[in-house]
Structure formats: structure tokens, C-alpha cells
């Protein structure tokens, strides 16, 4: 049994290090190596006085806009033509591909966003990888830490995949879409093109490509007395 194919193309800085059977490994040494190689000052755009920068090795590409009230902690690489909306919080080592969107009041921590990935509305993206064209519905949370602090293990049928990580959110293949207010538990891997309905609480595990993950609920309406 193998994991579903997640990505059509891996960004060049991570290509040689990518293991399709352990995609979460990108969040370890490969991400550190890329961030360690950033220049001390690689900001190619003009930032307003309401943008707060902290730490070292902050790179922001041409054409990117950063809204007021945004806080950016280096090391971080933000590509070209990225939209960072007001009040975003980016911290703990982040790599963001060209044309991505990080929305208002969205927090991104220790994550990789491929080109065109969108976390546009009130999202938490912790220790996660978002493939090209991923779109997170408003309020989607990619939870990254177990209450007991134990290692994140990914169930996959009758096997359990050790990640070696105490913090791991979701690995979302290209063009995955989540509905509003969905929560993906630590250690969730979703194949390319899958859509997740609003309000779904998705437990750790491996979910196939090109699928619908539906939520069924029963609503009762009674007369007010």
C-alpha cells in the first residue's frame, strides 16, 4: 500500500529531498536548509509602517502585497505576487510559493505553501504542506499538536506510519478544497483534488484523491413554547 499521489510537481528547492511515502519529512531538515540559505535582507517590495518584521532572513518577492497589521517572523520566504492580507501572522519558518494567498487574521506556522495555495480567511495552518491550488474555506483549522504531546502517527489502513514528529498538521495534495469551519486533526494526509465538506472534523489518516468527504447531520426543528 502506498500513499496517494499528492503533487504534480515539487517546488525546486525541495525536489531532491521529497519522499512520496513520507511527505511530512519536508518540514524538517529540507525546510531548514532552504530557510538557512535565505539572504539576511531579501525584501524586494516596499512595506508600510504598519507591517511588523522580526528575526532574520526575511525574503519577499516582487509583486507581493502585505496588508497593514501583518506580523512576519523570519526566517521566511514569501514568493512573487503573493497576497498577504491585513492582520496575518507568519512565524516559525515558512516557505510560500508564488501567487499564494494568506488571508486576514490567518496564522501560518512552520509550513510550506506551494504556488497558488490559498489560506484566505481566518485559518490556522500549523506544520503543514499545502499543494498547488489548495483552497481552505473560511475558518478551516489544520491542527498540529496532540493533547498528550505524543508523536503524530498517520493511520493508513492496517498500518500506522511513524512521522517522528510531535507537531504535524495536514499534508494536502494539489487542488484540495476544504469547506468552512472544517478541522483537520494532526496527521491528516489528503490526496489530490479531494473536497471536504463544511464543518467536517477529519481524523488523522490517509484520504484518497478525487473524492468527496461528506458530513451528514440531522437537524430537528421544534415549535417554540
121 carries an active-site annotation: yes
- 153 and 187 in contact (C-beta within 8 Å)? yes
Distances in whole angstroms, Cα of residue 34 to Cα of each of 15, 93, 105, 215 = 11, 10, 26, 39
Catalytic residue among 52, 118, 121, 185: 121
- Examine residue 205 and say whether the peptide bond preceding it is cis (omega within 30 degrees of 0): no
Q: Which residues carry out catalysis?
A: 121
Amino acid at each position: 500500500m502506498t500513499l496517494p499521489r499528492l503533487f504534480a510537481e515539487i517546488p525546486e528547492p525541495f525536489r531532491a529531498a521529497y519522499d512520496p511515502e513520507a511527505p511530512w519529512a519536508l518540514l524538517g531538515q529540507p525546510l531548514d536548509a532552504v530557510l538557512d540559505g535565505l539572504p539576511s535582507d531579501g525584501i524586494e517590495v516596499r512595506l508600510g509602517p504598519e507591517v511588523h518584521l522580526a528575526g532574520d532572513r526575511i525574503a519577499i518577492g516582487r509583486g507581493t502585497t502585505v496588508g497593514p497589521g501583518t506580523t512576519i517572523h523570519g526566517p521566511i520566504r514569501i514568493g512573487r505576487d503573493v497576497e498577504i492580507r491585513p492582520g496575518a501572522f507568519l512565524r516559525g519558518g515558512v516557505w510560500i510559493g508564488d501567487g499564494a494567498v494568506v488571508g486576514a487574521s490567518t496564522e501560518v506556522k512552520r509550513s510550506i505553501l506551494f504556488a497558488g495555495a490559498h489560506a484566505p480567511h481566518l485559518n490556522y495552518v500549523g506544520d503543514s504542506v499545502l499543494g498547488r491550488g489548495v483552497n481552505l474555506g473560511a475558518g478551516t483549522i489544520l491542527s498540529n499538536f496532540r493533547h498528550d504531546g505524543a508523536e503524530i502517527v498517520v493511520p493508513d489502513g492496517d498500518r500506522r506510519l511513524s512521522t517522528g514528529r510531535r507537531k504535524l498538521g495536514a499534508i494536502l495534495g494539489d487542488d484540495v478544497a476544504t469547506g468552512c469551519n472544517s478541522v483537520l486533526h494532526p496527521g491528516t494526509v489528503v490526496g489530490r483534488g479531494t473536497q471536504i465538506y463544511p464543518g467536517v472534523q477529519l481524523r488523522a489518516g490517509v484520504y484518497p484523491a478525487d473524492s468527496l468527504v461528506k458530513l451528514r447531520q440531522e437537524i430537528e426543528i421544534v415549535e417554540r413554547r
